[in-house]
Amino acid sequence: MALLIVFGFLAGAGTALSPCVLPVLPIALGAGATGGRRRPLGIVVGLVGAFTFATVALVYVLDALGLPDTLLRTLAIVVLLAFGATLLVPPLAARVEGRLSAVAARLGARPAAARGDGFRSGLLVGGSLGLVYAPCAGPILAGVITVSASQPFTAGRLAVALSYGIGSALVLYVLMLGGRRLTAPLARRGGALQLATGALMVLVAVAMLNDYDLRFQSAIAKDLPGFLVTPTQGLEKTAAARRALADLRGGGSSRLAAAADATPVHAATGGRLGLRDFGAAPNFAETQRWFNTPGGRPLSMRALRGRVVLVDFWTYTCINCLRTLPYLKAWDARYRAQGLTIVGVHTPEFPFEKDAGNVAAAIAREGIRYPVVQDNDYGTWDAYGNQYWPAHYFVDARGHVRYAHFGEGDYGHSEQVIRALLAEAGRQVGAARADARGAAPSLGVTTPESYLGSLRAARFANGPILPGRQDFGAAPGPMQDGLSYGGVWEVGREDATAGPGATLQLAFGARRVFLVLGSPGRPRRMRVLLDGRPLPDRLAGADVHGGVATISAQRLYDLVDLPGVQSHRLELRPQEGVHGYAFTFG
């Protein structure tokens, strides 16, 4: 955690030198140059406090109430607009300052000494800037926020966000002090500067209301060197930072993580597998609805003693998870009567995967008959210290973890473990193996999983992808394994919603292309083109017919199915209202 705090501080300082600070910088310089001598300090304190609150505490509030992530930006615009309008009316600004001083006096502050120093008004400005600044959070802080949304609040996560805010605020403070020295000769015209600052705040608020700040940032980022766009990118991708984030999730120190490295070996006698004991399996924790159990009643590890248990972490939009299902279903059919119980722990990646109706539909669609439980709050995921979809943990009849496997493949070995644990429990398994036939991942795939939301967007030809409604204009041609937006998109943290003239291009190297999509309210259509031409049916995935996909339920859509791994340019032209989340490949 100490390492993450240091990284957070350095990343915050670097962010203050990136294009993301542009909407904040003119207000900070203008506000810091007017008012009392302590106003820059007030701005810094307000920015750090609001930024930390917005990026940690409000995550829980927004998640619990189901509110949109753009609410923070809207709140910041309202505060900027209100405070700017107040500065444009000097008598009103003086009255507000007086009220703040009176409140401070009642709270035990030093109003006489501090009155007129601008600290309190600076707090208000800094507070609004903190909310504007929240989307600038880099990968380190974004990782902490993502963890925070699904885990209990801790002082460590607060400290990382606080260090990030302090790092940024110190750089801004230095810039404000420099701006104050430059404007010192204009001190006699403090009233005019105050009016100018108020007008600047109002103009910036109006510009943000129309997303001009995001468009400006994206436009200049295309032409800037990479080290100026993301000056701390190298730092945030270091192995040390990644390990620290893994430890924060609980996986780095998990005793069960070693179970995946403990490849079963044949014992010297009897030809039996030698399986290590990794201790008692955690129970199913903080779960929601159960499926495929009598009366929907929950299961527990204690109640399953005497049976071999395979715990499968999955989510229904994960193509890697879906490709393991034929094997899981075959093992369930072959070994359930011999004492095997498979429990699918459905831990969602996207918010809509938390919906019990969506999970029930996926279970029916995939023909799953073994028990499945919703793990919406990552309680069971964290209990196992898990980090992967899919992940399989093999538990013996005594309730102890004996082996684990992460990802696809090695199905023969996994079945061998099941048979060995059943034999250990005294069950007669016979010679017949499970009749499993599944699609294997293609060799030679070059394009990694690709996300459309701002939180994990990468390799876009448009430059940094920021949250909010944006008109990207004509889509620039993406480089290999890259993407590009065209037209109007409403970009959220996890997804992007198509607007007028929306297009999405992808230069991929794979055999199959899948995309998580949804269309709330009603079905919508999406044209699919390959290398500039309508996708022919002979190369189309199961969800494309005549070069068109019909999008309805929120799920994984099968778009392209080539005879082998090839490089092509895919172009999607969705109707307004289609939501896109992430590409996966096979």
Residue pair 57/155 in contact by the 8 Å Cβ criterion: no
pLDDT at 140: 46
CB atoms within 10 A of CB 38: 16
pLDDT at 396: 95
- Helix (H), strand (E), coil (C) string for 130-156: HHHHHHHCCHHHHHHHHHHCCCCCCHH
Q: How far apart are CA 372 and CA 384, in angstroms?
A: 17
pLDDT at 421: 95
Q: How far apart are CA 324 and CA 361, in angstroms?
A: 18
* pTM of this prediction exceeds 0.85: no
For every residue of 314-374, DSSP letters joined together read E-TT-HHHHHHHHHHHHHHHHHTTTTEEEEEEE--SSGGGG-HHHHHHHHHHHT--S-EEE
The DSSP element (H or E) to which 202 belongs, if any, is helix 190-209
Q: How far apart are CA 25 and CA 172, in angstroms?
A: 8
Q: In the CATH hierarchy, which fold is given to the domain comprising 450-585? A: Jelly Rolls (2.60.120)
pLDDT at 227: 40
Tens of each residue's pLDDT in the chain, 586 residues: 565 567 667 766 665 555 555 556 666 665 555 556 677 777 778 777 776 666 666 555 655 555 555 565 676 677 667 767 877 887 776 676 566 555 544 544 444 334 445 676 667 677 766 665 555 554 445 444 444 444 455 566 567 667 777 777 777 777 777 666 655 555 455 566 567 767 877 887 787 677 665 555 545 444 444 444 444 444 444 445 544 544 544 444 356 666 655 554 443 333 356 788 888 999 999 899 999 999 999 999 999 999 999 999 999 998 889 889 999 999 999 999 999 999 999 999 888 899 999 999 999 999 999 999 999 999 999 889 888 889 999 999 999 999 999 888 889 899 999 999 999 999 988 889 988 777 666 678 889 999 999 988 999 999 889 999 999 999 999 999 999 999 999 999 889 999 999 999 999 999 999 999 999 889 999 999 999 999 999 999 999 999 999 999 899 999 999 999 999 999 999 999 999 999 999 8
Pairing relationship of beta strands 468-471 and 488-491 according to DSSP bridges: antiparallel
Residue pair 565/500 in contact by the 8 Å Cβ criterion: no
Identify the CA nearest to 550 among candidates 582, 517, 583. 517
For every residue of 58-102, DSSP letters joined together read HHHHHHHHT--TTHHHHHHHHHHHHHHHHHTSHHHHHHHHHHHHH
Angle at 210 between CA 204 and CA 211, to 5 degrees: 80
Q: How far apart are CA 168 and CA 390, in angstroms?
A: 38
Can you read off the two tokens belonging to residue 8?
Answer: 């957070």
Q: How far apart are CA 513 and CA 524, in angstroms?
A: 20
Q: How far apart are CA 526 and CA 579, in angstroms?
A: 11
pLDDT at 226: 40
pLDDT at 20: 54
Name the DSSP letter for residue 546: T
pLDDT at 40: 75
**Superfamily of chain region 252-424:** Glutaredoxin (3.40.30.10)
Name the DSSP letter for residue 271: T
Query: How many residues are there in the chain?
Result: 586
SS3 368: coil
| Domain regions of the chain by residue span | 2-247, 252-424, 450-585
- Which neighbouring-strand residues pair with 516? 556
pLDDT at 48: 72
Can you read off the two tokens belonging to residue 288?
Answer: 């929601």
Residue pair 160/144 in contact by the 8 Å Cβ criterion: yes
Q: How far apart are CA 287 and CA 405, in angstroms?
A: 23
CA 116 to each of CA 22, 86, 129, 303, 493: distance values in angstroms, whole numbers, following the listed order: 29, 16, 21, 69, 41
CB atoms within 10 A of CB 520: 12
Can you read off the two tokens belonging to residue 526?
Answer: 């999406």
User: Residue 520: which region, alpha, beta or left (left: phi > 0; alpha: psi -120 to 50)?
Assistant: beta
Give the burial string for 419-457 (b: 16+ CB within 10 Å, else e): bbbbebbebebeeeebebeeeebeeebebeebbbbbbbb
For every residue of 435-486, DSSP letters joined together read ----PPPPTT--PPPEE-STTT--SBTTSS--SEEEE--SPPPPPTT-EEEE
Can you read off the two tokens belonging to residue 265?
Answer: 């070996």
CA 2 to each of CA 16, 148, 239: distance values in angstroms, whole numbers, following the listed order: 22, 17, 15
CB atoms within 10 A of CB 143: 22
Q: Which residues contact 487 (CB under 8 A, 6 or more apart)?
A: 471, 472, 473, 475, 498, 499, 500, 501, 502, 503
Amino acid at 221: A
Q: How far apart are CA 227 and CA 225, in angstroms?
A: 6
